[in-house]
Chains A and B, each alone.
With several copies, the nearest count.
Chain A
C-alpha cells in the first residue's frame, strides 16, 4: 500500500500502463504544457496535474499536446483506437463534451455495433467533472447521465484514489470505449492504494462502503463521502445504512443494489446532476420495477434542482446535495407511514 492523492493515482496509473504497453498514448490540451513557449515542454503541466512527467518519460509521439479542438481530440482518439492503439484522451472539463459529443456518441460508442462486431475501439476519454469550485454553469457539471445513456460506452466514476488506480487500469486495458469521470474536488484527496501492478477493479462491481439493514444509499464520486458521513451519524442512533458506491454507472451493478433493497426496503439515490432523466431516476425506476415487492417506502432521490449551476458560494452550496439534505431524505424514507 502507498498513500497518494486521487490525481497522483491518475497519473501514476497512466504512466505504469504506458510503460507496460507501447500502444497506450495520451492526448489533450496542455497535457504537456509549455509547448511553443520559452519555458518549453512541461514548463507546467495540465491544470489538474494529471499528466505531469509523462512527456519527459514517453516523448512527443505518445504524449500529444493538442490545440483547443475537442472534436479533433476525441476524433483522433477514435482513429488511434481503431488503428490498434489505446488512446487516453483528456477533456479538461466534462462540460466540454458539448463541443465533441458527436465523436463520443455517434462515433466511438457505435463503431463496433455499426461495423458488425468487426472492430474494437479501446479509447479512454478522461474528464474532470463536478461542482464545489464556484466555477459556475459551464465548468461544474456532472454530465454522466448523458454518457450513461449512450449504449456502447462504459462509464466510470471513482470516489477514492484506490478506485482510480484499479478502475483506470481496467479502463486502459478494456477493449471497449470508456468514459472516465474524475471529480475535481477529489483530486487532492489522499488514500491508500495497493502497490500490486496488476491491481484491477472490474467494471460493474459496486462497492459496499457501509453496511446496514435499514436503508440503502446509492451514490458515487464526491457525494459518496457525504453519504458515508450521514451513515456514520445514523449508525450512532442505531440506524444501519448500506452505502453503495457505484464505481461504474455503465455497466450498472444491479445485483448489489437490488440485493440491498430486498433487505432494507428503502432507497435513497444521491446524485450530482439535475433530476430529469438522471441517474437517480434510472436507479429508482430499476428498483421500483425489480424490487417492487420489497419496497417499504417510496424511492427517494437527492439531486440538485432542475436549474443550471449558479456561481456565488451561497447559491452553489444550496444547489449541491449536502449531508443535511441526504440525512433528511434518509429520515424521510425511514419515517414513511
Chain B
C-alpha cells in the first residue's frame, strides 16, 4: 500500500529522531554526565517505527532494556525522555527509572524493562485487557534474539494462544545477545519465527532494515490480530550499530562489520534511497527533517542539562499510592 507524503515524512522523522537521539547520547555518555547502563537502539529504527506507525494511543507496547526507539516511536516525549536519561526530577519517570525503565502508560507505552524476557507475559495481560474492551486494540511485545530463550517468553506465547489474546510478539533479531551470537544461543538454527510458529501462532518474517518491509508486514500481522484471530509473531532481521551497552569494546564483531552495516544495512539510508529514487520525497524534504531533528535533539539535551535535579526527599515518593 502506497503511503502518503505526510506518512512518509512522519515515518522518516520518527526514525531520524531515534537515530539522532541515540547518536547524541553516544557522544554525551563519553563525558560521564549520564549515569547508569545505556543500551542504544541505533540501527533498528525501522522496526520500532514500522510497527508503531500502525498503532494509536490505545494500542499498547512493552519494550526491553534497549527501549529508547520503542518509546519514541510510540509517542513518548523527546524532551521528557532526555530529561529522564539525565536523571532529572522533571524526567518522564522523575529520574527514578532511567534509560532501562522509561514508560508512559498514557501513550500506551507500558515500560522498557531491565529483565530480559519479562515483557512478554505483561504484554499478554495487556492484550487480554484489550480483548475485554473489545475495541480491536492490540498489545505488542518487543523481544531480542536473546530474550527469545527466556522461559517467560515461551510461557507468554502459549498463554496468548490458549487465551486467543490479541498479542503480537515482535522478535528483533540483531544477531547478538550481549557478546554472544544468535547462531550459538538459539538452538534452532537462528530461526526464531519457526519456534514461535510451533506454539500455534501464525508467524511472519521480514527485513528489519527495510522500513517498507516492516510496515507492510505489520499491516498484515495487525489485520490478522485485530480481526480476532489470536496472537501472532514476527521476526525481523536487523542490526545494532553500537555495542551491547555503552562501553562495550565489541571484539566479537568481524573486521569492518560496523562499517559494512552502516553502509549496506542502514534502515534510514535505505529509506532515503528508496523514497528519493521513487521520487516520493526529495533530498530537500529529508534534509529539512534532518536539520529539524538535530535542532530538536539539541534543544532536548540543553533542556535536560538544565532541568531540575531530584532531591533526597523524592526517594520516598511513589512507592505506594497509599500506605
**A–B touching in complex (CB under 8 Å):** yes
- Is A37 touching B176 in the complex (CB atoms < 8 A)? yes
- Is A134 touching B35 in the complex (CB atoms < 8 A)? yes
Q: Determine if B88 is an interface residue (Cβ-Cβ < 8 Å).
A: yes
Q: Beta-carbon contacts of A52-95 to B below 8 Å, as 1s and 0s?
A: 00000000011011111111111111111111110100000001
- Is A135 touching B36 in the complex (CB atoms < 8 A)? yes
Interface bin, chain A? 35 or more
* Interface of A, helix, strand, loop or mixed by DSSP: loop
Closest to A106 in B: B115
Interface centre among B98, B126, B150, B315 (most CB of A within 10 A): B315
- Is A79 touching B111 in the complex (CB atoms < 8 A)? no
A305 to B139, CA, bound (A): 35
- Is A68 touching B96 in the complex (CB atoms < 8 A)? no
Q: With A68-B146, A72-B158 in contact, is A103–B118 under 8 Å at CB?
A: yes
A106 to B100, CA, bound (A): 13
- Is B111 touching A83 in the complex (CB atoms < 8 A)? no
- Is B322 touching A176 in the complex (CB atoms < 8 A)? yes
A140 smallest CB distance to B (angstroms):
9
Measured between beta carbons, the chain A residues less than 8 angstroms from B163 are 64, 66
Q: Determine if A38 is an interface residue (Cβ-Cβ < 8 Å).
A: yes
A136 to B35, CA, bound (A): 10
- Is A312 touching B253 in the complex (CB atoms < 8 A)? no
Q: Determine if B201 is an interface residue (Cβ-Cβ < 8 Å).
A: no
Q: With A76-B125, A318-B315 in contact, is A117–B101 under 8 Å at CB?
A: no
Measured between beta carbons, the chain A residues less than 8 angstroms from B150 are 68-70, 99
A107 to B100, CA, bound (A): 13
- Is B121 touching A61 in the complex (CB atoms < 8 A)? no
Task: Tally inter-chain residue pairs, CB-CB below 8 A.
Answer: 321
Interface bin, chain B? 35 or more
Q: Determine if A199 is an interface residue (Cβ-Cβ < 8 Å).
A: no
Residues of B105-158 at the interface with A, using a CB-CB cut-off of 8 Å, are 105-106, 110-111, 113-118, 120-132, 139, 146-147, 149-152, 155-156, 158
Q: With A38-B252, A71-B152 in contact, is A78–B176 under 8 Å at CB?
A: no
Q: Beta-carbon contacts of B231-257 to A below 8 Å, as 1s and 0s?
A: 000000000000000001111111101
Measured between beta carbons, the chain A residues less than 8 angstroms from B309 are 312, 314
Q: Determine if A221 is an interface residue (Cβ-Cβ < 8 Å).
A: no
Measured between beta carbons, the chain B residues less than 8 angstroms from A25 are 128, 132
Closest to A204 in B: B323
Measured between beta carbons, the chain A residues less than 8 angstroms from B156 are 72, 75
A40 smallest CB distance to B (angstroms):
8
Q: Which of A27-35, A206-214, A224-232, A295-303 contacts B (4 or more CB under 8 A)?
A: A27-35
- Is B320 touching A176 in the complex (CB atoms < 8 A)? yes
Residues of B175-215 at the interface with A, using a CB-CB cut-off of 8 Å, are 176-187
Measured between beta carbons, the chain A residues less than 8 angstroms from B126 are 79-80, 82-83
Residues of A78-126 at the interface with B, using a CB-CB cut-off of 8 Å, are 78-85, 87, 95-96, 98-99, 102-103, 106-107, 111-120
- Is A29 touching B178 in the complex (CB atoms < 8 A)? yes
Measured between beta carbons, the chain A residues less than 8 angstroms from B97 are 114-116, 136-137, 311
- Is B159 touching A308 in the complex (CB atoms < 8 A)? no
A316 smallest CB distance to B (angstroms):
8
- Is B95 touching A76 in the complex (CB atoms < 8 A)? no
A115 to B117, CA, bound (A): 19
Which residue from A47, A61, A102, A139 sits with its C-beta under 8 Å from B100?
A: A139
Which residue from B115, B179, B322 sits with its C-beta under 8 Å from A175?
A: B322
- Is A312 touching B88 in the complex (CB atoms < 8 A)? yes
Q: Determine if B104 is an interface residue (Cβ-Cβ < 8 Å).
A: yes
Measured between beta carbons, the chain A residues less than 8 angstroms from B111 are 82, 111, 114-115
Q: Beta-carbon contacts of A293-337 to B below 8 Å, as 1s and 0s?
A: 000000000000111101111110111000000000000000000
A104 to B13, CA, bound (A): 38
A84 to B312, CA, bound (A): 31
Since A29-B178, A43-B179 are in contact, a sample of 8 more A-B pairs with Cβ atoms closer than 8 Å, ordered by chain A residue number, is A36-B184, A38-B253, A75-B156, A79-B62, A79-B122, A115-B105, A139-B114, A307-B319
| 9 chain-A/chain-B pairs, Cβ below 8 angstroms | A35-B180, A69-B149, A70-B150, A83-B110, A118-B105, A152-B319, A176-B323, A314-B312, A318-B312
